[in-house]
Amino acid sequence: MPEPETRDVWVNARGGIVANPSQAEIVRGQVKRRTIPASVGTGPGVAPVGGTPVDKAKLAILDAYAALPQSGSVGWVQLTELRRRLEADGHSRQDVDEALKLLNRTPAVHIAPESNQKTLTAEERAAAVSIGNQAKHLIAIDNPAAVAAGLRGTPTSTPVGTGPGRVPIGGTDADRRAARPRKEGETDRAYDVRTSVDRASALRKLDGHNVAGLRAIARDEGLPDAGTKADLLARLMRVMYDRHADIAAIDRVVNRDREPQRPAAPVEG
């Protein structure tokens, strides 16, 4: 009999394929190179895609989110809308709940409670998923197509940035943190927000908290804790993300101006 076709992949400690591991994950030994049958396609820490109803529900959630209208700059979608689509496609409530909980561990997926609970309808309350003993009603996903590709074990053709402080475009949190070391005295939360892939992702990490939670974060960061949720979000984003982005932009301009200019071509004639 002919030998079965194989391929080399990166595998994490749970036996799942990691399509595009970061350099930090490789250096730390969090992923290892393995040879597997070519027919096997697993995602990070899951069974072969299509092998279980929960795996199918994960991919269906990502597809449904991408197809649904999203609100605000953060891109929130009500779980009510998501569940309607998934139920119509034959996914059970139990499988969807388990898939949501597993996806919530992914840095690109954000599941949060509605900040103004009084506005929730009975249907919206019933559609909530309980994570950490808290009912959550909204979901936002950074680049759902890339997350789905990772679950399928499909490599993505992503341009890679080079040079100090550069990370692969669309790279992982570990990539960004490896390129942007922690600042002295920086809290874990501030570091997590500062190294977000973009402003929308940074905002999602804060927007999932209610007013009391945002006030506690403000106190931890040594900031005033008065005001509405919008006031607190604006204050925290300004200090924890925006000012660092502004400094980085200024540095890029300064470094560009310092680069030696190519001499102009001589004018003929």
pLDDT for the residue 161: 38
pLDDT for the residue 195: 78
Instruction: Indicate which CATH number applies to the domain containing 76.
Output: 1.10.10
pLDDT for the residue 47: 39
Domain count, the chain: 3
Q: What is the domain range of residue 238? A: 180-258
Tell me, yes or no, whether 121 lies in a domain: yes
Separation of alpha carbons 217 and 74, rounded Å: 19
pLDDT for the residue 45: 37
pLDDT for the residue 137: 92
Does one domain contain both 16 and 99? Answer: no
How far from the centroid of its chain's Cα atoms is residue 74's Cα?
12
Tokens found for residue 135: 């009912």
Tell me, yes or no, whether 16 lies in a domain: yes
List average pLDDT for each run of 10 residues in the chain, which is 269 residues long.
64 61 71 65 40 86 88 80 92 94 85 86 94 90 80 52 40 54 75 79 83 86 85 86 64 50 51
- Whole-structure pTM value: 0.49
Does one domain contain both 101 and 124? Answer: yes
Does one domain contain both 23 and 102? Answer: no
Does one domain contain both 194 and 244? Answer: yes
Give the Å distances, CA to CA, from 35 to 17, 23, 38, 40, 151.
11, 20, 9, 11, 18
Does one domain contain both 238 and 208? Answer: yes
pLDDT for the residue 234: 87
Contact status, residue 23 vs residue 62, Cβ threshold 8 Å:
no
